[in-house]
Amino acid sequence: MPRCVPLLATLALIAGCTDTPTKPDTPSPSTPSTTSISPTVGTSEPPAPAPTRKAAVVYVSDGDTIGVRFQGEERVRPVRLLGIDTPETKDPDTGVECGGPAASRAVTRALPRGAAVTLVTDPTEDKSDKFGRLLRYVETTDQGDLALVLLRRGLARVYVYNREGVRFGRYREVENAARRANSGSWGKCPDFGD
C-alpha cells in the first residue's frame, strides 16, 4: 500500500487506495463502474425510468402543442410534444399548412379539456425550448403515447431538433409504416415531410 497521510489513512482504505494507479475516470478493477451511460448506448442494466408528472389538459394549441395545469398549481404550462412535428395552423409566417387542421382536431379529440395526461421527460433532451414550452412525451391512459398515435395516423412526422431522444427509433418505424401506406397527410399533402 502506498504511503498515505496518517489522518487520511482510514479514508484511503475505504476509498480503495491500492498499488495500482488508475485514471481518475476509470474504476479500479475490483469496483463496478458507476459512470453514467447514455440511454441510447446498450447496457446490461435497464435505464432508470424517466421522471413523470401528472397534469390536466387546459387547451390544445395545435397538433404538437398543448397547455396543462399540474395538480396544486394555478399556472398553465405550454407543452411541446417531443419527437414530432405537425403542420402549422397558427404561425403567421407560414399560414395554415396542409394537414394542420386534421392534426389539431385529432389532438383536441384525444385530449378534451380536463383530460388527465402523464408528461414524461427524456434524459437526452432539453427540458424546455426557447419559447419556454416544456418538452415532454405526452401519454394518456387509454391511448398511450400521443406522438405514436399521430405518427401512426400519418398526422405527424418525426422531428429531431438537436439530438435523437430515447423514443425516436420507434417513432421512425411508425412514421415509415404510415408513409408507405400513404396514411393521413402522407397521402393528401404533397409537401408533407419536406
Over the stretch 120-157, which tens digit does the pLDDT of each residue have?
999 999 999 999 999 999 999 999 999 999 999 999 99
DSSP characters over 96-139:
SPTTHHHHHHHHHHHS-TT-EEEEE--TTS-SB-TTS-EEEEEE
Q: Is 180 an annotated catalytic residue?
A: no
> Residue 173 — very low, low, confident or very high, per pLDDT cuts 50/70/90?
very high
> Residue 44 — very low, low, confident or very high, per pLDDT cuts 50/70/90?
low
From the candidates 3, 53, 73, 133, which is the catalytic residue? 133
From the candidates 80, 136, 157, 167, which is the catalytic residue? 80
What are the CA-CA distances from residue 67 to residues 55, 58, 81, 130, 133 (Å)? 10, 5, 11, 16, 9
From the candidates 88, 125, 157, 175, which is the catalytic residue? 88
Q: Is 88 an annotated catalytic residue?
A: yes
The domains of the chain, with CATH numbers, are 52-188 (2.40.50.90)
In this structure, are strands 116-120 and 84-85 parallel, antiparallel, or unpaired?
Answer: unpaired
- Helices marked H in the chain: 9-15, 100-110, 146-152, 168-180, 185-188
The grid coordinates listed for 163 are 439530438
Query: What are residue 78's DSSP bridge partners?
Result: 67
pLDDT score, position 147: 98
pLDDT score, position 109: 96
